[in-house]
Structure 1
Amino acid sequence: MVGMTTTLALGTVAIVFAAATLRGLTGFGFALAAVPMLGLLMPPAQAVPVSMCIVAVGGVVGARQAMTACHWPSIRRIGVAAVVGTPAGVFLLKHIPAEAARIAIALFTLAAVLGIARAGEGAKPFGAARAIVYGLVAGVFNGLAAMSGPPIVAYFMSSALSREAIRASMLVIFQIVVFTGLASALALGLVTHDTVMLAGLSLPAFWIGNWVGARLFAMGSEQGYRRIAIACLVAMALASAAPAVSSLLHASR
């Protein structure tokens, strides 16, 4: 673990602001943006709990406000299915290489992008079965590689819901997911005094960044929102595949 320094604190605050702006704009993507950048300043085992602590505390107000606009039927179905699917992901984690898991997630995400690109306001609302399937996949990916985001984002972005409902639904469901992850981090002893200090110092930047992102969201259009979300989803795919590809290339030398 890296000890607290002025450089570390300032760097963390700047990264949190940038990632929170993305979250405020799209409803997702904070960890996607923050964890890799925080990893340049500290070990991943420290970066992930810092990110979790920030969202767990800082995201409560935004998630509560989003509850009035979110699509509760989908959230309930996906949430329960994800809990059920997570143990299966942990089981697979013990039996398949991590590289194969990450590449599978990347391929699923890229395939989902194609579905999102074809969807629009005229699409039919999803039924319970589809929400459960996506929730199960999210749970498997969560247990397999701690990456539940792509299936959840893909589900909501390819639905007929408005951009307001999509953004609100993702804010709520990812707030629920982060508490589950934080509980695991606490159980494993990954949340230290420095973790809490860094998270606390970064909370104002998180709130300001979310506010800036929300203002940008209000100024944007439906099509603009979809383009930004699709770009973030592609980034998720590349981020999940990059370590696996790098490891495979290194092993082949």
Structure 2
Amino acid sequence: MDSVLLIVIILVASILQTSTGFGFSILATPFLLLLFAPNEAIQINLLLSLVISILLYTKIKKDVEFQTLKRLIIGSIAGLPLGMLLFLLLDVEKLKLWVSIVLFILTLLLIAKLRVKQNKNRDIFVGTLSGLFTTSMGMPGPPLLLYFASVNTNKEKLRGTTLAFYLFIYSISLIIQLLFAGTTSKMWIASGLTLPFVFIGLFLGQLLFRKMNQQVFQKLVYALLLFTAIYLLL
């Protein structure tokens, strides 16, 4: 039963990641935490998300905003070790509680048409938050998603820039996690078992992306953010 649930989680998360650029960690991590220890759940998420980003890069390269990507990477360099420190030292439940409250409030403001102007400093700050979220909870997506939605980024640019950023952030985060939190054979077996379903998700996600218009994409963004906030709060 656990194996079937694991496969369903990874398949659906892979479809979302491919079609939106951010769905894997938001959907998969909460459910993986029901089946695995925190370090195992985070490492499965990081490893499979990295595989998706590598396989998709040639398809999304033309949509990447490279100046924004550069600033996000610069910011994340500070956030990655800070997130690992929080993971090792703080009560993860309290961290999730505060994140859920902030995420919920910001998502409601976003739905109410709160908008900000994109600039260099904000790009760097969001990169820092994303790095922190990645190593502490395996979820780099929410800060990026909130930010890109608040500056009205189109779906092609959002997906392309986010997936390109993941190539860097997931690679470094996985190394940090393996070095400082250790790993288990269970994590590698689970990742290998679900890898074929990642490929199926890639194919289906590409089909979905081509059929989605900007309005549907935006509604999906709001739904995923609210889902993440409510789940973490509960």
Question: Do these two structures clear the TM 0.5 threshold for a shared fold by scoring above it?
Answer: yes
- Aligned with 1:65 (options 59, 63, 69): 59
Could you tell me how far apart the structure 2 residues matched to 1:20 and 1:137 are?
23
Q: Structure 1, residues 40-83: CA drift from partner, whole Å, max 9, x if none? A: 43333323222222222343111342222121111111121122
What secondary structure does 1:126 align onto? coil
Could you tell me how far apart the structure 1 residues matched to 2:89 and 2:31 are?
30
Give the C-alpha shift of residue 20 in structure 1: 0.9
- Give aligned-pair identity as a percent: 23
Could you tell me how far apart the structure 2 residues matched to 1:173 and 1:69 are?
12
Moved more, 221-230 or 95-104: 95-104
Matched with 1:85 is 79
Matched with 2:32 is 38
Q: Structure 1, residues 159-216: CA drift from partner, whole Å, max 9, x if none? A: 2332111111122222322112210232146433443233223222112112212211
Could you tell me how far apart the structure 2 residues matched to 1:31 and 1:107 are?
18
Q: Given the superposition, is the C-alpha separation of residues 100 and 9 from structure 1 closer, same or farther in structure 2, using an over 3 Å criterion? A: closer
Give the C-alpha shift of residue 118 in structure 1: 5.3
Moved more, 128-137 or 33-42: 33-42
Give the C-alpha shift of residue 100 in structure 1: 4.5
**Could you say which structure has the higher helix fraction?**
2
The one-letter code sitting in structure 2 at the alignment partner of 1:225 is F
Could you tell me how far apart the structure 2 residues matched to 1:87 and 1:42 are?
23
TM-score by length of 2: 0.83
Give the C-alpha shift of residue 92 in structure 1: 6.3
Q: Structure 1: where are the runs of 5+ without partners?
A: 1-6, 243-253
Q: Given the superposition, is the C-alpha separation of residues 160 and 201 from structure 1 closer, same or farther in structure 2, using an over 3 Å criterion? A: same
Retained in 1: the 8 A contact 2:26–2:142? no
- Does 1:202 pair with 2:197? no
Could you tell me how far apart the structure 2 residues matched to 1:211 and 1:160 are?
27
- Does 1:106 pair with 2:106? no
- Does 1:238 pair with 2:230? yes
- Does 1:159 pair with 2:151? yes
- Aligned with 2:126 (options 127, 134, 141): 134
Give the C-alpha shift of residue 222 in structure 1: 0.6
What secondary structure does 1:191 align onto? coil
Retained in 2: the 8 A contact 1:22–1:213? yes
TM-score by length of 1: 0.78
- Does 1:192 pair with 2:184? yes
Q: Given the superposition, is the C-alpha separation of residues 79 and 119 from structure 1 closer, same or farther in structure 2, using an over 3 Å criterion? A: farther
What secondary structure does 1:68 align onto? helix
Retained in 2: the 8 A contact 1:125–1:161? no
Q: Given the superposition, is the C-alpha separation of residues 96 and 178 from structure 1 closer, same or farther in structure 2, using an over 3 Å criterion? A: closer
Retained in 1: the 8 A contact 2:97–2:233? yes
- Does 1:50 pair with 2:44? yes
Matched with 1:248 is none
Q: Given the superposition, is the C-alpha separation of residues 185 and 133 from structure 1 closer, same or farther in structure 2, using an over 3 Å criterion? A: closer
Retained in 1: the 8 A contact 2:53–2:167? yes
Matched with 1:28 is 22
Retained in 1: the 8 A contact 2:29–2:138? no
What secondary structure does 1:160 align onto? coil
Q: Structure 2: where are the runs of 5+ without partners?
A: none
Q: Given the superposition, is the C-alpha separation of residues 66 and 85 from structure 1 closer, same or farther in structure 2, using an over 3 Å criterion? A: same
What secondary structure does 2:153 align onto? coil
